[in-house]
Structure 1
Amino acid sequence: MSVILSLMKELKQVKSLFVSGLLLLLLATAGVQLAPLILQNLIDQDLTAVSKGLVLNQHDFLIKLASFIGLLAIGGLLRYGSFRILMVCANQVATNLRNRAYTVMQRLPISYFDDKPAGKIATRIVNDTETLRNQFYSTLLSQIFITLIQVFFIYGILMSLDLAVGLVLLLLIPLFYSIQILYKNLTDKPMKDFYAARSEVNTLVNETMNGASIIQLYHQEEEVLNNFEQVAGKMQGADDRIVFVDSVASWTLTELLKYTVVAGILTFIGYQFLGGNLSMTAGRLFLYINYVTTLFDLLGMLVRQLPNIQRSQATGRRLLEMLEEQLEADEEDELQVTAGVVDFNNVSFAYDGKHRILKNISLHAKQGETVALVGHTGSGKTSIMNLLYRFYDPQEGHITIDGQDISQFSRESVRSQMGIVLQEPYLFTGSIASNVTMDKGGYSSEEIIAVLEKVGASDMLARLEKGIDEPVVEKGSAFSSGERQLIAFARTLIANPKILILDEATSHIDTETEEMIQKAMEVLKEGRTTFIIAHRLSTIQNADQILVLDAGQIIEQGNHDQLMQLNGRYAEMQRIQQKV
């Protein structure tokens, strides 16, 4: 219930609009539900008088008929207006939740994402907010509020007509609540099975699309199809159970109860008529039948809708937990870098705060120096860069740039001083130019072309009909991995950072392209401090410093010649790679 109340509190964002919608709904309900009273008057006075041989007062009759039709028409228009307003409220609240979740995601510490798949986080922001919009807010505002107001209004009219009848009909509420409990219990497991099967279907489709070539190479088409049909069959079976329960509990049972009560009323009236004790007019009978059948329809609708509200609790709980996550604290001061001198001073770090990944790391990178980090997987190379980016802060020691402790400055200002090229380049939908500049203005076409040529992309530009305006779609799937890397490399260089970080940046580039990049880098690295994480030792032989890491410690340090003379771990790695 606390989740439901928390979700309800989100309506305060649209308080004025929400109140306006409710007022229109009250007026609409009053118009539609009071209209039968006019019809009762027509039946009991005008039409009954005609049946007794009296002359019909046409003027009075037409006024009442026009009033009846007018109330229905105005009520319908007001209800449409209230529905539109309440749906706008639902959409606005869902949009606000989605925007807040996205903002929170961007401000969460990197450690939050260590043990959470990107797909689940995306589900919170996209799917969960959409589910809340459809199953909670839209249902709550467009159906349940409207239905509840009409139910209360009808009970008020019935009690004003006959208090005893109104009180007896109140027994319908616990009866329908029991039906609702039954409906929920019978649909809970099929609903969970349905969503689980749907998730499996989505996973299978995604895997089939990404692994289409492997499936065909290993002739697994029939096996994959059979697997898909089985999972799809689970989904259909769960859906069939939901439809069966829905048709029995919320339709068949409701309709049976409705017509049983109506039959009971007519039987009671019939016995009174046969006994000559009938005191109820035809118009009053019409009112009871009209309001009772409407009441059953409304309560039946609640039976079908309330489980959706209850099922939204799990979705709402997941989203609210994300919104309440502890955000990453940050500093306001901005780091100013002139030279790009980097120092690690006895830095130790553990991702979980206990088991140290880095142990007493100390390094000094001068302005314009190239520092290479080598070592086996898990040796701590990437962790050192994660600390330099301030994705994490060390538990011991400190890191400085130009003598300034980076922990004292905002993360954004620290990262703005760095240009990063990762092993797997990521291109955004747009053009080559927009990917190089990251949509930042102030760069001319000549500057974009020049920086692409410096990284060796001249041949790529020459073959493209639109040059730097060539479209980029699907993460750059139309380009080779080497070309994507060149674009990412140019993106970093055009920003003119003080510090360059190359994380296996040449691993997907052929030897000829690598040679061009190496030549360009000799010019472009001037005045910049460059860190290179590499497994291919041939790319770092000219580095000013090479740090050999093992189990989070620097075990060897020096340039290529010094380390070869040392004949230690680095020399062994060189010999192994040369054999390969």
Structure 2
Amino acid sequence: MKLVKRLSAYFIYEWQSLLIGLLLLVSAIAISVYLPMFASKLIDRLTHAYREGSQVPLAELTQFFGIYMGLQILNLILSFSGAVLLRHMTNRIGKILRDQAHAHMQKLPVSYFDDKPAGKVATRVVNDTEVILNNFFAVFANNVLINALTVIGAYWAIARINGWIALALLVLIPIIILWQLTYSRIIGPVNTAMRESYSNLNSHVAELVNGIGIVQIFGRQKYMVDAYDQDNDAYLNSQKKYLFTDAFLSWNLSELLKNLVLFAIMAMIGIRFNQRILGFSVGVIYMLINYVSRLFDPITMIVRMMTQVQQALAAAKRVFELLDQPVEVDQEASLTIKQADIDFDHVSFAYDGDNYILKDITFSVQEGQKVALVGHTGSGKSSIINLLFRFYDPQKGQIRIDGKVIQDYNRESVRQDMGIVLQDPYLFTGTIASNVSMNQAGISDQMVEEALIKVGAGPLLAKLDQGIQSPVVEKGQDLSSGERQLISFARALASDPKILILDEATSHIDTETESLIQHAMQVVQTGRTSIVVAHRLSTIMDADLILVLDQGEIVELGNHRSLLAAGGSYAQMYQAQVEEAGGTAP
């Protein structure tokens, strides 16, 4: 019931459309309820005329059919208008729900996505919200409400005909409610399992698409097919269980009750007729049969639609789990970076809160300096970058920019004057221009071209007919790794950040492209603080400060010459890379 109440609360967003749609439908249902009464009058008139041996005037019949058809047409117009308005309303509510899920997802901490496959998150935002739209809002507004109003109208009409029959029918309501509650309780977990299996399928396909090249290179197609078959079998089994449970529990109880009621009414009429006490006219008998059908047929439809509602509730549970995830608590104050001085003051950090990845990290970076972070995999280089961007906050110590503790300012302002180039650049579907500017209004096409040229992407633009307006497919798969990296560099430079982060940005670039980027970076680094996570030590020889990290601790600190002279870890790594390249270290 909590999920139903929570979903129903969304109707308040479109209460005007809901109100007008319901008024139209109530009017249509009122007409449909009145039509059998109107028809019964003609039936009784014809029956009376037949008994008396007289004829009904043709004008009277014509008038009757004219009014009857007019009411039918009016009923059709009102029903159509109400149904269209309600469907339009439910589509708008579905958009609101999708927008909320998508917007909330972007406010979640990065740690939420650490163990969440992209396919599962996408399923909740797109597929599950669509199931809620089609199986709850559309069904509830367009079908359940209509049928419920029809049941009320039919019961009112029966009460007018015979109060005792109406009172007897009240006994059936608890039976139907109890049956529906039993059905909901049993089918709910089955629906949840089926939605989870469906999510696993989406996640598997998304993962395969992202890694299709690796799968084919290592010849793991059969393994992936077998793994998908297992997930697909799990989904099929959940569907079988659902179908069996649904078929077993949703048999037509209301249809049985309707037939029993009709049998009882006809039996009562027959007994009275045999006793020559005709309690009902032919027109009344017609009305009773009509209204009993109108009473139970909508109940049958409601029971059948509960299957769809249960599917929607299972999807809603998953969507609301996403919406209920706590967002990052952020501060209202905004940070304005001026000098771009950076200080890490005895910073310790653990992703899980217990096992510290960084241990008592202390260093300072002055305005315009280039600082390099080096170390083996897992030494904590990327973790320092994550803390600087406030993707995470340290458990101990402080991080300051221009002497201000960044935890005291909102994340957006902290990141506003920072730019980053990742080891594996991510390009979005669009154009080269949109990927460089990230659709920021302050970055013109001229600025985009200048940034691309500065990082050495002039030859790339020259070979493209559409220049910066050339289309880019998902992840830039139609570009080489070097070209993607150049665009990523241009993206960082076009935003003109005061702090530039290079996270092993040259590790996937060939030597010629690297030299072009190094030249461009020398030009743009003037007056800009740079932090470089380096794999190739040859790219950081001009760094003002080099931090050598090992298991989350700074084990060496200095510039290139001083670290070589010290003969420690840095000197050993440099010697190994030079020898690997076929040279001799100084």
For normalisation by structure 2, the TM-score amounts to 0.90
1:509 maps to 509
CA 550–209 in structure 1, closer or farther in 2 if over 3 Å, else same:
closer
CA 252–97 in structure 1, closer or farther in 2 if over 3 Å, else same:
closer
Any conservation in 1 of the 2:150–2:294 contact (CA below 8 Å)? no
2:437 maps to 437
2:583 maps to none
Any conservation in 1 of the 2:371–2:530 contact (CA below 8 Å)? yes
Segment drifting more, 504-513 vs 107-116:
107-116
Secondary structure of 1:439 counterpart = coil
2:491 maps to 491
Segment drifting more, 329-338 vs 73-82:
329-338
Any conservation in 1 of the 2:117–2:203 contact (CA below 8 Å)? no
> Identity over aligned residues, as a percent?
43
1:38-437 equivalences in 2 (<5 Å): 38-181=38-181, 183-184=183-184, 187-188=187-188, 191-192=191-192, 194-210=194-210, 212-213=212-213, 232=232, 235-236=235-236, 238-239=238-239, 242=242, 250=250, 254-437=254-437
Deviation at 1:138, TM superposition (A): 1.5
The one-letter code matched in structure 1 to 2:488 is A
Any conservation in 2 of the 1:250–1:300 contact (CA below 8 Å)? no
Deviation at 1:382, TM superposition (A): 1.5
CA 24–257 in structure 1, closer or farther in 2 if over 3 Å, else same:
same
CA 208–451 in structure 1, closer or farther in 2 if over 3 Å, else same:
closer
Any conservation in 1 of the 2:438–2:491 contact (CA below 8 Å)? yes
Any conservation in 2 of the 1:14–1:93 contact (CA below 8 Å)? yes
User: Quick check: 1:461 aligned with 2:428?
Assistant: no
Quote the Cα distance in structure 1 between the aligned partners of 2:404 and 2:193. 56
- For residues 137-169 of structure 1, what are the alpha-carbon distances to aligned partners after superposition, in whole Å with 9 as ceiling and x for unaligned? 222111111111111111111112111111222
Deviation at 1:135, TM superposition (A): 1.9
Any conservation in 2 of the 1:155–1:166 contact (CA below 8 Å)? yes
Secondary structure of 1:55 counterpart = coil
Quote the Cα distance in structure 1 between the aligned partners of 2:263 and 2:69. 29
Quote the Cα distance in structure 2 between the aligned partners of 1:228 and 1:392. 35
CA 74–112 in structure 1, closer or farther in 2 if over 3 Å, else same:
same
Segment drifting more, 287-296 vs 251-260:
251-260
Secondary structure of 2:487 counterpart = helix
Any conservation in 2 of the 1:357–1:380 contact (CA below 8 Å)? yes
Segment drifting more, 506-515 vs 269-278:
269-278
CA 240–290 in structure 1, closer or farther in 2 if over 3 Å, else same:
farther
Quote the Cα distance in structure 1 between the aligned partners of 2:204 and 2:551. 38
Secondary structure of 2:327 counterpart = coil
- For residues 347-368 of structure 1, what are the alpha-carbon distances to aligned partners after superposition, in whole Å with 9 as ceiling and x for unaligned? 2333344443322222121222
Runs of at least 5 residues in structure 2 that lack an aligned partner in the other structure: 581-586
CA 304–425 in structure 1, closer or farther in 2 if over 3 Å, else same:
same
The one-letter code matched in structure 2 to 1:198 is Y
- For residues 511-560 of structure 1, what are the alpha-carbon distances to aligned partners after superposition, in whole Å with 9 as ceiling and x for unaligned? 22112211222222122111011222232222221101122221100112
Quote the Cα distance in structure 1 between the aligned partners of 2:246 and 2:485. 55
Secondary structure of 1:383 counterpart = helix
- For residues 462-505 of structure 1, what are the alpha-carbon distances to aligned partners after superposition, in whole Å with 9 as ceiling and x for unaligned? 22222222111122111011100100101111222111100111
The one-letter code matched in structure 2 to 1:539 is T
The one-letter code matched in structure 2 to 1:407 is Q
Quote the Cα distance in structure 1 between the aligned partners of 2:242 and 2:508. 51
Any conservation in 2 of the 1:36–1:68 contact (CA below 8 Å)? no
Quote the Cα distance in structure 1 between the aligned partners of 2:243 and 2:449. 61
Deviation at 1:211, TM superposition (A): 5.0
2:551 maps to 551
CA 510–107 in structure 1, closer or farther in 2 if over 3 Å, else same:
same
The one-letter code matched in structure 1 to 2:562 is Q
1:3 maps to 3
CA 317–451 in structure 1, closer or farther in 2 if over 3 Å, else same:
same
Deviation at 1:424, TM superposition (A): 1.5
Runs of at least 5 residues in structure 1 that lack an aligned partner in the other structure: none
- For residues 409-466 of structure 1, what are the alpha-carbon distances to aligned partners after superposition, in whole Å with 9 as ceiling and x for unaligned? 3322221111111112111222112211222345554443332122121222222222
CA 238–383 in structure 1, closer or farther in 2 if over 3 Å, else same:
closer
The one-letter code matched in structure 2 to 1:428 is F
How much is the aligned-residue C-alpha RMSD, in angstroms? Answer: 2.9
For normalisation by structure 1, the TM-score amounts to 0.91
The one-letter code matched in structure 1 to 2:202 is N
Deviation at 1:393, TM superposition (A): 3.0
CA 346–188 in structure 1, closer or farther in 2 if over 3 Å, else same:
closer
Secondary structure of 1:364 counterpart = strand
Secondary structure of 1:464 counterpart = coil
Any conservation in 2 of the 1:177–1:303 contact (CA below 8 Å)? no
CA 234–457 in structure 1, closer or farther in 2 if over 3 Å, else same:
same
Any conservation in 2 of the 1:343–1:401 contact (CA below 8 Å)? yes
Secondary structure of 1:328 counterpart = coil
- For residues 333-380 of structure 1, what are the alpha-carbon distances to aligned partners after superposition, in whole Å with 9 as ceiling and x for unaligned? 433333322222222333344443322222121222111111222222
The one-letter code matched in structure 1 to 2:136 is F
Segment drifting more, 255-264 vs 31-40:
255-264
2:29 maps to 29
